[in-house]
Amino acid sequence: MRRILTGNPLPGDYKELAEVESLEMNEDGLIARRAIMCRWDERYFAAMSVFAFDSPYPNPLPDQFQNTVLVVKSHSFEGMGPTGDGRVFEEWPFCKVTAVYRTPPYLGQEFNFSVEALETTEGRVWEKVSAEAGKDVHVEIPTSITMPTAEINIPCRRWSVPYRTIIQTTGRINKNDYSEGWGIPKHTLLMVGAQTRQGVTSFGQTYWDVVYRFIYRNRSWNEVWRAPRQLRDADGVLQWKDEKNQLDPIYVKGPVGKAGWDVPVDTDKEATEDGRYLYDEADFTYVFPQSYMNPPPEGTL
């Protein structure tokens, strides 16, 4: 069809209605609308010619949505024409065709909850048997506890894949706090990679489905269980209450001799320097806004 700038469309013409064009954001993501005016009897042909299903939004988007895919997902039709002159139309002479652009359907977000086994009993004593024996009876065989974890897969459809950013942020933890809505505090989300797959819309435009993969734990990834330090003699030999059988270790006095969660650091690195902690920080906002994901119903993991 032929695009015209002024006047009413003749057969085979259409005119863009710039005043109808809009962008909005709601719980379904980014939505755009465009409209044209055409002859009533050509409305379906015009819709498929100008607004073919899955055809991409042609106009520039705001900077924060530059990599967002918007394609035509629905049409609506509204009669247009002269009124008040006494004429009765079996059909309207003109039609306003409105196209709604949406982000294509994503692969579903995935939350796979599980637990991680951690040995945290070294340096502890048995409560009941110690009371009965009247002395500390240390745990001899380490016993594991479980820590809640979750595999989180966040899908996003884009025109291109940010390979460099993915490579730079894989193996890092969240710099930002997502406690509000998500219940994911700072440093509890580890990015473990991404999966990409190329596709083509019915309009012939290529796109990429990207699934960002994370592992959540309810404690900072930089915290590990620190075992208590066992006492040594002047020759460096470990000390035991039962030297013959090497049972019931003797721990140094003070905080060092008590087990607990702690953060290993490289003191040769500055506080904000990469490598000081086990896991470095990364800004994952390049993932979160593009996915338009909704928090779980409970609002927390």
Output the CA torsion 8→11→15→21 (10° steps): 120
**Positive/negative CA dihedral, 170, 173, 175, 176:** positive
Pairing state between β 281-282 and 173-174: parallel
- What pLDDT is attached to residue 32? 92
Backbone φ and ψ for 119, nearest 5 degrees, come out as -90, 110
DSSP state of 131: H
pLDDT band at 15 (very low <50, low <70, confident <90, very high): very high
Window from 11-20, 151-160, 204-213, 282-291 with minimum mean pLDDT: 282-291
Please give the average per-residue pLDDT across 71-93, as a whole number: 73
- Assess whether pLDDT exceeds 80 at residue 229: yes
Please give the average per-residue pLDDT across 66-91, as a whole number: 73
For the question of whether the overall pTM of this predicted structure is more than 0.75, the answer is: no
Q: Rg for the chain (alpha carbons), in Å?
A: 32
Answer for the pair 103, 65: CB distance below 8 angstroms, yes or no: no
Token output for 234 = 């002047």
- Assess whether pLDDT exceeds 90 at residue 105: no
- What pLDDT is attached to residue 294? 42
